[in-house]
Amino acid sequence: KAGVTQTPRYLIKTRGQQVTLSCSPISGHRSVSWYQQTPGQGLQFLFEYFSETQRNKGNFPGRFSGRQFSNSRSEMNVSTLELGDSALYLCASTTGEVTNEQFFGPGTRLTVL
């Protein structure tokens, strides 16, 4: 079974631009979560989608948004990029049962110049 895949793996953008990151979950997984990892703040939860609906949201500004498609693939979008948005963005999928483990992708490294 293929793991969680994320594209692109690396991205360089400039301040003020917007970016879209993509995540393909493990087949059969209906829940997709997004996390931001920075050296200063560590791993922080962004949001979770389940059956195309946002089910949970972390404490991030509205510039961060996401969506999930009917095939469970998910995208996250960051508008009006700031230097502080430079981070590793991780996607994780799970079946949707609350106690089940999450499977993480390799992440997308975003650099904002």
Q: Does 48 bind other proteins (CB under 8 A)?
A: yes
- Please report how close the Cβ of residue 16 comes to other proteins at its closest, in angstroms: 29
Q: Which residue reads 């510039």 in tokens?
A: 63
Q: Which residue reads 């946002």 in tokens?
A: 54
Q: Report 60-89 residues binding other proteins (CB under 8 A).
A: none
CB-based contact 79:28 (threshold 8 Å): no
- Spatial strand order of the sheet with 5-7 comes to 5-7, 19-24, 74-78, 64-68
CB-based contact 74:67 (threshold 8 Å): yes
Q: Does 23 bind other proteins (CB under 8 A)?
A: no
Size of the site for other proteins (CB under 8 A): 26
| Residue 28 or 106 having the CB closest to other proteins | 106
Provide the binding-site residues for other proteins, judged by CB under 8 A: 4, 31, 33, 35, 42-45, 48, 50, 55-56, 58, 90, 92, 94, 96, 98-99, 101-107
